[in-house]
Structure 1
Amino acid sequence: MNKQPILTIITITYNAERFLGRTLESVQKALQGVNDTSLLEYLIIDGNSKDNTLAIANQYQSFITRIVSEPDKGLYDAMNKGQALATGKYIWFLNAGDEIYDSHVLSTLLPLLETNADVYYSDAMFVKADGSEVGLRSLFTPHKLPDHLKWQDFALGMKVCHQAFIAKKDIAPKYDIDNLSADIEWEIICLKNAAQVTHLPILLCKYLLGGISVKSHRRSLLDRFRVLQKHFGLLPALYNHLLIFWRGFWFARKNGKYW
């Protein structure tokens, strides 16, 4: 009888031939240190790519559980599909271009998941398109990583990188496919639903700078305001956005551009 995987890793792709190999190589290397690979499930949810994305994915069939390729309504629609298909107890989104931090992550992480927390999180290493490291997110943005994460910590925006956040599937909501900051709300709701949250002693991922929210920055800011207004109220959201812009201005003036 097949047992339930403890962790489902989900990679979303669309015309991702440039970066997908980097992601899959990192997963393959990390799996080499795992004694029981049945504990893991790996899904690729593709938006009907027109380039070589699927050909690259097919080269890694040895550890890919399932590839779904069909038209979708954007990133968060694809993430909803992946979440619905996941059979693991925990879900972890690692999108094309992002990487598992090193070959020891999975062998260290899986025993830690046995502690049965609802959410696990870590810092993330920022990397450029050429793979070179920029530095830890907690040092290269104003978002300092707390030891005891709460949903209220998101009052000033995305406290934890999405790729460094692992949640139980049964506490995770669906993403709002019309909001470019839906990942912030997803984490907030996961934390609201969580009884136990654990700060991991390891780095989970390398995060590729860029992404849809950066490419559509103005709309992303408006959508973030909608999320924060919903969870913190109108006046606190207005006040906190003033703090966000002021903090970002001074951080960038002191440290240079960080995004």
Structure 2
Amino acid sequence: MNYRLSIITINYNNAEGLKKTLQSVISQSCNDFEYIVIDGNSNDGSKEVISQYSKNITHFVSEKDSGIYNAMNKGIKIATGEYLLFLNSGDELENEKVIEKSLPSLAFFDLISGNIIYSTDGIPKTLFAPPNEVNLAYFLHSFLPHPSTFIKKELFQNIGLYNENLKVISDWEFFLKAVVIHQAKYNHLDEVISNFDNSGISSNPGSENLIKKEKAQVYQNLFPNLKNEIKMIEFASSKRMVEIQHIQTHHPFLWKLLKGFLNILNIFSSQKEVKLFHKINRKFSY
């Protein structure tokens, strides 16, 4: 049977988080999807949890892997869906109607990115909504939320699987390559898709240096001749994000107005930054 959607959950020694994720998936009002669980040979009771919900899981693998992206790549190879959604153990679909509402939107685009709620210790903290348009300048200071982005499987066939040499930002690199180099068709879906468990490796403050190191490696590999331009845009973008965060915190009413009528990510763009981005576009050959 061919499915429009495959949901992939990876897990390693997170039995409680896995149970939470499984329950959010199997409680969907629409079950027209396949569900794949990739476990890294856990020894904390995760296998027993999977066995408990086995009738709701289409494919299940439990074996040692070399990291989170190796596990995700296993899921990609198994998946038969036209689109893939990665919901790792501990993450949840926002409510039981998410898949029912999302399935009609899975057409015409390569990446459909919805909104996401970031939670800490089970307490919702922050709502993140991707912009309506994304480009190189956007990825220099931000990202697409992996657990709320539907990815056309064909992209992995054209671009390649997740880079397993990267430990924490391989999904960011994949989205960057998809949008900037392969000009994937992107769409923002203004619905909350998932609730993200903010305790993973990429959210750990101790991973900050590793993230910077891996991003520098990606820039060097993909844009070796644009080092200075990228640094300047990164700096300008980071200053802009500080200003945006200040408005969010201290002027919430103004933030609502701005968010409703403007592309918030471009509000503070300087002419210098715009010129730099156009320079990059001219120099970079697609």
Aligned to 2:83: 90
- Residue 272 (structure 2) aligns with: none
Where 1:91 maps in the other structure, the secondary structure is: strand
Which residue of 1 is the match for residue 15 of structure 2?
Answer: 17
2:151 is equivalent to residue 162 of structure 1: no
Contact 1:157–1:224 (CA under 8 A) maintained in structure 2: no
1:225 maps to amino acid: A
Amino acid at match of 1:227: V
Q: Which has the higher contact order (CA 8 A, sep 6+)?
A: 1
CA distance in 2, matches of 1:248, 1:198: 22
Once the two structures are TM-superposed, the CA of residue 227 in structure 1 deviates from its matched residue by 2.1
Alignment of 1:121-136 (within 5 A): 121-129=113-121, 131-136=122-127
Partner letter of residue 142 of structure 2? G
Q: Aligned partners of 2:6, 2:41: CA distance in 1, in Å?
A: 22
**Distance across 2 between alignment mates of 1:174 and 1:212:** 20
Give, as a single letter, the amino acid of the residue that structure 2 aligns with 1:175: Y
Alignment of 1:204 with 2:193, yes or no, is yes
d(CA) in 2 for partners of 1:182, 1:195 = 17
Task: Provide the TM-score with structure 2 as the length reference.
Answer: 0.76
Q: After the TM superposition, which residues 59-98 of structure 1 pair with which residues of structure 2 at under 5 Å, given as runs?
A: 59-98=52-91
Q: For the aligned residues, what is the CA RMSD?
A: 2.3
> Structure 2: which amino acid aligns with 1:78?
A
Q: Which runs of 5+ in 1 are unaligned?
A: 139-144
Shift of the alpha carbon at 1:150?
3.8
Q: What is the distance in 1 between the residues matched to 2:18 and 2:133? A: 33
On the 8 A contact 2:140/2:237 being kept in 1, the answer is no
Question: Contact 1:126 / 1:136 at 8 angstroms: preserved in 2?
Answer: yes
Map of 1:142 onto structure 2:
none
Matches of 1:40 and 1:21, distance apart in 2 = 19
How far off is 1:186 after superposition?
A: 1.2
Aligned length: 240
Structure 2 CA distance, aligned partners of 1:21 and 1:62? 14
Amino acid paired to 1:146: P
Aligned with 1:186 (options 174, 186, 210): 174
The answer (yes or no) to whether the contact 1:126–1:206 under 8 Å persists in 2 is: yes
- 2:203 maps to what in 1? 214
Indicate the structure with greater helix content: 2
**Alpha-carbon spacing, 1:245–1:152, altered in 2? closer, same or farther (3 Å):** closer
What is the deviation of 1:146? 1.3
Structure 2: stretches of 5+ with no match in the other structure: 251-286
Give the one of 18, 34, 44 matched to 1:41: 34
1:177 corresponds to 2:164? yes
8 Å CA contact 1:11–1:95 kept in 2: the answer is yes
Between the aligned partners of 1:162 and 1:45, the Cα distance in structure 2 is 17
Counterpart pick for 2:48 among 30, 55, 71: 55
**Would the aligned equivalents of 1:119 and 1:194 in 2 still touch at CA under 8 Å?**
no
Question: 1:156 touches 1:243 (CA, 8 Å); kept in 2?
Answer: no
Does residue 118 of structure 1 match 2:102?
A: no
Q: Go from structure 1 to structure 2 and tell me whether the alpha carbon gap of 1:112 and 1:241 turns closer, same or farther (over 3 Å shift).
A: closer
How far apart in 1 are the matches of 2:208 and 2:59? Answer: 33
- Say which SS state the counterpart of residue 150 (structure 2) adopts: strand
SS at match of 1:18: helix
Query: Is residue 105 from structure 1 mapped to residue 98 from structure 2 by the alignment?
Result: yes
The CA distance in 2 between the partners of 1:45 and 1:14, in whole Å, is 9
Counterpart CA distance in 1 for 2:33 and 2:131 is: 28
Q: Which amino acid aligns with 2:37?
A: I
Give TM-score, length-normalised by structure 1: 0.84
